[in-house]
């Protein structure tokens, strides 16, 4: 279905990533947000607070991130599309509730505008060091989807994608910005509402006595419901059966937890979001994401100018990791170079997918600023030898 | 003729004794027999005194007893 | 002499049914609560309150946290949510704000609401969020084995204070009043009639309403302190409770075996969160303000 025009600020804008992200959530149909101030993410909800009263919805600044991360889930079960926004320290606080969203299959979006860590770290400076946490941060076995924009335009576009995927898979989606993308100002084109595809919530068509809130469809995802419609349903974080009732035994654990991972399969490899260029004749491929991909592009161009056949694989959907795409590419190249604003996170996934079929050269950076393209170029040149 | 009646779900009872203690007209006493879980459920010893007030039902933590007035 | 069935000399009309059963998920009975535990008693009272208030049960949502009382949500045949420890109130906040038509009841225990959940409690009360909070206070963390809770009175033996609690305990009714609650009452599981009436009252009242229900935990709290069983505790409640409507909440502390002040302490009218939001927005934005009720249709 098309976006509701009330939330779509059609036009050509000059916005930073945080602001563009907010516009994306509104275009996607988000009408509820809860948040807590934390640099460098606060502008997302500040803008939402200022926009939402004339669009029709609610923003509430909660007392902490623990509250914000579950208030949005209450809103989802009340029928709204909802999201929260934070950065590292708040993301850590939200982990229990990301797990709750995954376990209860609550469609919602968590935006993390990553900054230097660990702990209080570098509040105003970029890093990409929450990538593993986005996937594994909560306890237990569960899956999530994570998207990495590399421009304010993508902050807008991928916010919409995030909501759409969360509804399609009944899963929490992490939108992983970084301080650089969040605070850089660029042209953002917001099309007409009729040009924006929005995935509606998959409410059940079954009557209350037949509907089971955790009974999956063919695609392993159950239909949704909302409070107040007479379904008298139950949602619990305890291991539960298809009725939603606690069913704390080995069989249910196996069945439910496996499905939570398997339901994401259709997205993980065939539909994974990535941007590639110059792969056909590439001897070295630079695998990157977020702001680092902008710098990597420069390094790839510089390498080509020097006669090195460098290619680009930009990861946009980081989780589930596009392992089959990387594994298929590995035997065709000499090496993959993985620059990231952390000391080794997504490179581990690349190494795992590559499984020794080519060299993997890591270009770490503890964060605080972006890579110097020369450093990535040097790695490309070394890898090409 | 009693004004009300009390119905007991013997198997649900956990013998806590609230209903026996708080019945205003002393209709109930804990039985000396057991249910299959080994608890002593209440026994109606004075049915004619039952007013159907349902205090027993309100007190019962196990939803094992309720009282009601006879319809006239 | 041991017979599995009893002779019931009452004449039971055909079709007579326990009035609580339509409100319960009967397919999940029996529940997990211990013999003599008072939580089930409070559920009876809540059921009566729902009946008496003619509530539209499709529009009543119940949100619980973690703990013995937290299991109430799972047993009630309403739209029910068993959330994370301490976070029933923020979940309930989101639920209510997304669909203000819902009557949102938070039903949880003392440890859940006032230890880990304490911050959320005071802010929801401060905001006068339209939530009805029923706190079954058994003075302990029962589910996990009887550890000290912020409400456990001094000198009581608990799993984490084996030599006796020495910390001052929270006075929940005082805390609720200070935080801004519009309705504050305390009853015990002995006071079934008054408790039902209080629950009915709050179902009709807008704003942050708080009812504390003192309840036995015979398996842990009472047993460890040699205070008898559930019935002994109920008799203690009957003997030690003093009804003092309007009493200053600061003077209503609980002690190990002393007086229990019960009654309705606070009943005031303040605009609730949504009323305040609407007033502020209309004042500043005029007719540019769009009511939030529309958000549920978008999905």
* pLDDT tens per residue across span A18-29: 999 999 999 999
In a domain? residue C290:
no
Q: Do B59 and C44 touch (CB under 8 A)?
A: yes
Copy the structure tokens of residue A263. 């339901």
Angle at which helix C118-127 crosses helix C88-98, to 10 degrees, equals: 30
For C61, the closest chain A residue by CA position comes to: A227
Q: Which of 94-133 (C) contact B at CB < 8 A?
A: none
B31 to chain C: closest CA residue: C6
Distance of CA A249 to the CA centre of its chain: 32
pTM confidence score: 0.96
Provide the domain count of chain A: 2
- Residues A269/A313, Cβ–Cβ less than 8 Å: no
pLDDT score of C5 more than 50: no
Q: Quick check: is C165 in a domain?
A: yes
Structure tokens at A346: 């997504």
CB pairs under 8 A between B and C: 114
Contact list in B for residue C213 (CB cut-off 8 A) is none
Q: How far apart are CA A184 and CA A210, in angstroms?
A: 51
Q: What is the nearest CA distance from C177 to chain A, expressed in angstroms?
A: 19
How confident is residue C3, by pLDDT bands cut at 50, 70 and 90?
A: very low
Torsions phi, psi for B21 (to 5 deg): -65, -40
Task: Output the pLDDT for position C2.
Answer: 41
Average pLDDT over residues A331-342: 98
Reply yes or no on whether the pLDDT at C8 is more than 80.
no
- Whole-number Å distance between alpha carbons of C297 and C299: 6
Which residues fall within 8 angstroms of residue C179, CB to CB, at 6 or more apart?
C121, C122, C123, C125, C126
Would C299 be classed as within a structural domain? Answer: no
pLDDT at C297 over 80: no
Q: Which residues are bridge partners to B8 per DSSP? A: B65
User: Per the domain annotation, does A32 fall within a domain?
Assistant: yes
Q: By CA distance, what is C13's nearest residue in B? A: B70
Residue partners of A56: CB distance under 8 A and separation at least 6: A6, A31, C290, C291, C292, C294, C295
Angle at C138 between CA C136 and CA C140, to 5 degrees: 125
Domain encompassing residue A377 = 274-384
**A211-233 burial by CB neighbour count: b if 16+ within 10 A, else e?**
bbbbebeeebbbbbbbbbbebbb
- Whether B31 sits inside 8 A of C31 (CB atoms) is no
B contact test, residue of C38, C41, C236, C239 with most B CBs within 10 A: C41
Pairing of strands C79-82, A172-178: unpaired
C264: closest CA among C214, C212, C215? C212
Residue A239 lies in a domain: no
The pLDDT value given to residue A268: 80
**DSSP three-state, residue C33:** coil
CATH of the domain at C230: 3.40.50.970
Tell me how close the Cα of C195 comes to any Cα of chain A, in angstroms. 25
Q: Which residues contact B41 (CB under 8 A, 6 or more apart)?
A: B8, B10, B13, B15, B30, B31, B33, B35, B64, C6
For the residues of C58-124, what is the DSSP string, one character each? GGEEEEE-SSTGGGHHHHBSSEEEE--TT-HHHHHHHHHHH-TTSEEEEEEEHHIIIIITHHHHHHH
Domain boundary among A161, A195, A229: A195
- Which single residue is written with the structure tokens 């001094």? C154
Shared-domain flag, residues A75 and A191:
yes
Ranges of each domain in chain B: 4-67
Tokens read off for C66: 């973690």
Q: Are residues A63 and A165 in the same domain?
A: yes
Q: Do the Cβ atoms of C28 and A246 come closer than 8 Å? A: no
Does chain B reach chain A with at least 3 CB pairs under 8 Å? no
Q: Is residue C44 part of a domain?
A: yes
Residue A44 maps to a domain: yes
CA atoms within 13 A on the CB side of C284: 8
- Chain A's closest residue to C64, CA to CA, is A236
Q: Which of A174, A195, A216 is the last residue of a domain?
A: A195
Residue C15 lies in a domain: no
Which pLDDT tens digit goes with each residue over C194-205? 999 999 999 999
Residue A206 lies in a domain: no
Q: Do A78 and C99 touch (CB under 8 A)?
A: yes
CATH number at residue A352: 3.40.50.920
What pLDDT is attached to residue A270? Answer: 73
Report if residue C171 sits inside a domain. Answer: yes
Q: Give the C-alpha distances (Å, rounded to integers) separating B50 from B3, B25, B66.
A: 6, 7, 11
Q: Is residue C281 part of a domain?
A: no
Tell me the CATH class for B4-67.
alpha beta
Q: Give the SS3 label for residue A85.
A: strand
Q: How do C132-137 and C183-188 pair as beta strands?
A: unpaired
A209 domain-assigned = no
Size of interface A-C (CB pairs under 8 A): 174
Q: What is the mean pLDDT of residues A335-363?
A: 98
Contact criterion met (CB < 8 Å) for C98 and A66: no
Best mutation target among C73, C295, C297 (most A Cβ atoms within 10 Å) is C295
Looking at residue C295, what is its pLDDT? 57
- Whether A299 and A171 map to the same domain: the answer is no
Residue C1's pLDDT band (cuts 50, 70, 90): very low
Domain around C251: 21-270
Given C10, C21, C234, which is nearest B44 (Cβ)? Answer: C10
Determine contact: C284 vs chain B, CB below 8 A: no
With contact defined as 3+ CB pairs under 8 Å, the chains touching A are C
Tally of domains in chain C:
1
Average pLDDT, chain A: 97
* Amino acid C234: pLDDT: 98
Contact status, residue A330 vs residue A353, Cβ threshold 8 Å: yes
- Dump strand ranges (E) for chain A: 11-16, 30-35, 58-61, 81-86, 108-116, 122-126, 145-147, 172-178, 185-190, 234-236, 274-277, 284-288, 310-315, 317-319, 335-339, 359-363
Looking at the complex, report in whole angstroms how far the Cα of residue A195 sits from the nearest Cα belonging to chain C: 17
The reply to whether C196 touches chain B by the CB within 8 Å rule is yes
Question: What span, in angstroms and rounded, lies between the C-alpha atoms of A214 and A105?
Answer: 8
Domain final position from A169, A195, A221: A195
Confidence of residue A67 (pLDDT cuts 50, 70, 90): very high
The CATH number for A165's domain is 3.40.50.970
pLDDT, average across residues A77-82: 97
């Amino acid at each position: 279905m098309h976006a509701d025009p009330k939330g779509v600020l059609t036009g050509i804008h000059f916005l930073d990533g945080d602001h563009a992200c907010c516009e994306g959530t509104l275009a996607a149909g988000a009408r509820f947000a809860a948040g807590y101030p934390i640099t460098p993410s606060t502008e997302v909800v500040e803008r939402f607070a200022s926009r939402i009263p004339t669009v029709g919805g609610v923003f509430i600044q909660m007392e902490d991130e623990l509250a914000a991360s579950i208030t949005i889930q209450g809103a989802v079960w009340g029928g709204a599309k909802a999201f929260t926004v934070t950065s590292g320290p708040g993301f850590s606080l939200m982990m229990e509730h990301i797990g709750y969203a995954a376990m209860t299959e609550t469609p919602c979006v968590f935006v993390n505008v990553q900054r230097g860590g660990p702990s209080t770290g570098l509040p105003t400076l970029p890093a990409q060091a929450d990538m593993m946490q986005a996937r594994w941060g909560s306890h237990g076995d569960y899956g999530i989807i994570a998207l990495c924009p590399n421009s304010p335009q993508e902050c807008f576009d991928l916010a919409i994608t995030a909501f759409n995927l969360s509804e399609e898979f009944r899963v929490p989606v992490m939108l992983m910005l970084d301080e650089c993308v969040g605070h850089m100002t660029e042209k953002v084109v917001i099309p007409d509402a009729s040009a924006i595809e929005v995935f509606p919530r998959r409410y059940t068509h079954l009557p209350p006595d037949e509907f089971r809130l955790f009974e999956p469809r063919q695609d392993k995802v159950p239909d949704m419901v909302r409070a107040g419609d007479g379904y008298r349903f139950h949602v619990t974080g305890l291991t539960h059966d298809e009725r939603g009732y606690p069913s704390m035994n080995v069989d249910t654990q196996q069945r439910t937890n496996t499905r939570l991972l398997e339901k994401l399969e259709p997205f993980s490899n065939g539909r994974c979001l990535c941007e590639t260029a110059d792969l056909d004749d590439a001897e070295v491929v630079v695998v990157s994401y977020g702001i680092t991909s902008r710098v990597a592009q420069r390094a790839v161009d510089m390498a080509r100018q020097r006669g090195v056949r460098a290619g680009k694989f930009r990861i946009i959907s980081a989780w589930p990791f596009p392992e089959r795409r990387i594994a298929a590419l590995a035997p065709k190249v000499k090496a993959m170079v993985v620059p990231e604003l952390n000391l080794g996170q997504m490179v581990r996934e690349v190494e795992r997918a590559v499984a020794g079929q080519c060299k993997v050269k890591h270009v770490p950076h503890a964060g605080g600023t972006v890579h110097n393209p020369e450093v990535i170029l040097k790695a490309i040149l070394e890898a090409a030898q | 003729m009693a004004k009300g009646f009390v119905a007991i779900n013997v198997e649900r009872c956990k013998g806590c004794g609230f209903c026996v203690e708080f019945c205003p007209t002393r209709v109930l006493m804990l039985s000396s027999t057991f249910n299959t879980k080994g608890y002593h459920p209440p026994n109606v010893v004075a049915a004619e005194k039952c007013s159907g007030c349902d205090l027993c039902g309100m007190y019962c933590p196990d939803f094992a007893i309720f009282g009601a007035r006879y319809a006239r | 002499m041991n017979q599995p069935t009893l002779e019931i000399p009452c004449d039971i009309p055909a079709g007579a049914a326990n009035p609580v059963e339509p409100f319960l998920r009967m397919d999940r009975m029996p529940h997990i609560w211990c013999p003599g535990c008072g939580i089930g008693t409070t559920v009876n009272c809540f059921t009566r309150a729902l009946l008496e208030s003619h509530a539209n049960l499709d529009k009543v949502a119940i949100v619980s946290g973690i703990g013995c009382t937290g299991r109430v949500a799972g047993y009630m045949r309403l739209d029910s949510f068993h959330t994370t420890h301490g976070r029933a109130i923020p979940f309930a906040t989101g639920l209510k704000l997304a669909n203000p038509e819902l009557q949102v009841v938070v039903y949880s225990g003392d440890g859940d609401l006032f230890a880990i959940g304490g911050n959320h409690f005071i802010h929801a009360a401060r905001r006068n969020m339209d939530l009805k909070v029923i706190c079954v206070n058994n003075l302990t963390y029962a589910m996990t084995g009887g550890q000290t809770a912020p409400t456990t009175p001094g000198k009581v033996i608990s799993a984490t204070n084996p030599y006796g609690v020495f910390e001052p305990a929270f006075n929940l009714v005082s805390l609720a009043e200070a935080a801004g609650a519009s309705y504050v009452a305390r009853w015990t599981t002995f006071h079934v009639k008054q408790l039902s009436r209080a629950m009915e009252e709050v179902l009709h009242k807008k704003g942050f309403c708080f009812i504390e229900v003192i309840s036995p935990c015979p398996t842990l709290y009472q047993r460890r302190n040699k205070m008898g069983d559930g019935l002994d505790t109920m008799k203690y409640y009957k003997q030690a409770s003093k009804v003092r409507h309007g009493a200053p909440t600061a003077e209503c502390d609980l002690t190990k075996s002393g007086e229990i002040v019960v009654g309705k302490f606070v009943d005031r009218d303040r605009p609730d969160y949504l009323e305040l939001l609407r007033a502020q927005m209309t004042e500043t934005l005029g007719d540019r303000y769009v009511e939030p009720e529309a958000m549920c249709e978008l999905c």
